[in-house]
Copies of this chain bind each other. A is one copy, B any other.
Amino acid sequence: MVIGKVVSRVISTRKYDTLQGYKLLVIEPLNGDTKEVFVAADTIGAGEGEIVLVSFGSAVQHALHQQAPIDAIVVGIVDQEPTMPK
């Protein structure tokens, strides 16, 4: 999983039906040197600026009510940014 900060929201009108009902968040990972921004679905209600925990890959389906072409999902909101290596 990756810890990241919610940056903004993606609005997409033309999309797969199975993506309806998910917020799609732009997330900046807090994992060191790189800043490879990605998009994750959210059902928890994470807001901009919040620090979240995101899961990727096939594990995502275990967080969905119905299978969908989603490969990243917010699985938790982090209480406090943890200690990171220097």
Taking Cβ atoms with an 8 Å cutoff, the residues of A that contact B are 1-3, 5, 7-16, 18-19, 24, 26, 28, 31-41, 44, 53, 55-63, 67-73, 75-80, 82-85
Contacts and interface: CB of A to CB of B under 8 A. Distances in A.
Query: What is the copy number of this chain in the assembly?
Result: 5
A82 B33 contact: no
The prevalent SS among residues of A at the interface is mixed
Given A9-B82, A76-B14, A32 B31 contact: no
Given A3-B39, A26-B3, A33-B34, A55 B83 contact: no
Contacts of A55: 69-71
Contact of A35 (B19, B33, B76): B33
A26 B37 CA distance: 19
Given A33-B35, A71-B55, A84-B7, A44 B14 contact: yes
